[in-house]
């Protein structure tokens, strides 16, 4: 039994997927084992072509409306949707979009939701579907598929998401980074659905898009570390307008750069910026 356990452990190390997987790495992995591919694009675009065996997934299955903002769905709901996608606890999942607006952010949020509920092997396709087409334009599909139901058992990690009171109590004590474009941070423009201008008091600007090249591929780790200028051993809180942009900072920091304690304020400015009792500055 000990030998079997050791072999399984070594196998998991050997085939562990990176946080951002290249098309070449994904293609090789697909020849060796079952990879669950989740496409975040719209139905029409998906029908025009996608990576073979991919399923279209909706961000709406992972979030719910709560007043002016959205929050991650309960572990029970995420468990159910994961099972419907054929996911088991040992499944290897790769998310991607077609580089349309917000598709990459939907991928990072869904990845965060799955990881927060216990899934270990989750990747995002570096460069998305256009990068896949560049390398494998002859290996695409237009077929839709419904997988056999999985047996995913959600194991929620309460250390990922924080609420308004937590953020209030940690202002000045924990680094907070804002994922919105700089013009919103500087109060030069107003985010959609956010009444007040500016940012959370003491937060620094760290726009999610700054971490990617023009082709939506992730920048080198050394460059990312110089952009963030954060201590990987210390806690950090990321936020944005409504959770999606911040999820990319969360994903890069926790999964790609392996920061020890990254939290996300899910309601973000849709909650904070629409209240009069939350400290802000311009």
In this structure, the answer to whether residues 178 and 276 fall within a common structural domain is yes
Over the chain (282 residues), what is each successive 10-residue block's mean pLDDT? 45 70 97 96 97 97 96 98 98 98 97 98 98 96 92 98 98 98 97 97 98 97 97 98 98 98 98 98 95
What is the pLDDT at residue 17?
Answer: 86
What is the pLDDT at residue 16?
Answer: 79
What is the pLDDT at residue 94?
Answer: 98
Rounded Cα distance between 272 and 279, Å, is 9
Provide the total of helices (H) and of strands (E) in the chain, helices listed first. Answer: 11, 14
What is the pLDDT at residue 15?
Answer: 58
Cβ pair 108, 40 in contact under 8 A:
no
pLDDT tens digits, residue range 126-169? 999 999 999 999 999 999 888 999 999 999 999 999 999 999 99
In a domain, 236, yes or no: yes
The number of folded domains in the chain is 2
In this structure, the answer to whether residues 187 and 273 fall within a common structural domain is yes
Cβ pair 36, 52 in contact under 8 A:
no
Specify the CATH number for the domain of residue 93: 3.40.250.10
Domain housing 202: 161-281
Q: What is the pTM of this model?
A: 0.94
């Amino acid at each position: 039994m000990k030998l079997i356990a050791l072999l399984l452990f070594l196998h998991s190390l050997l085939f562990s997927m990176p946080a951002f997987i290249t098309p070449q790495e994904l293609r090789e992995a697909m020849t060796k084992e079952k990879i669950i591919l989740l496409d975040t694009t719209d139905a029409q675009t998906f029908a025009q072509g996608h990576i073979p065996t991919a399923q279209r997934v909706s961000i709406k299955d992972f979030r719910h409306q709560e007043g002016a903002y959205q929050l991650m769905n309960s572990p029970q709901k995420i468990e159910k949707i994961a099972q419907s996608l054929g996911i088991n606890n040992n499944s290897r999942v790769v998310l991607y979009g077609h580089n349309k607006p917000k598709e990459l952010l939907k991928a990072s949020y869904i990845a965060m939701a799955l990881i927060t509920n216990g899934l270990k092997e989750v990747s995002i396709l570096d460069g998305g579907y256009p990068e896949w087409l560049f390398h494998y334009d002859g290996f695409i599909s237009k077929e839709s598929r419904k997988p056999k139901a999985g047996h995913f058992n959600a194991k929620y990690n309460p250390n990922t998401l924080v609420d308004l009171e937590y953020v209030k109590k940690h202002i000045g004590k924990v680094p907070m980074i804002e994922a919105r474009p700089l013009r919103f941070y500087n109060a030069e423009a107003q985010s959609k659905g956010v009444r007040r201008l500016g940012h959370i008091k003491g937060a620094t600007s760290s726009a999610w898009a700054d971490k990617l090249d023009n082709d939506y591929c992730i920048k080198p780790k050394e460059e990312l570390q110089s952009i963030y200028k954060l201590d990987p051993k210390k806690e950090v809180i990321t936020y944005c307008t409504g959770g999606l942009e911040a999820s990319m900072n969360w994903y890069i920091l926790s999964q790609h750069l392996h920061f020890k304690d990254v939290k996300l304020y899910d309601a973000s400015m849709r909650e904070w910026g629409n209240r009069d009792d939350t400290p802000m500055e311009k």
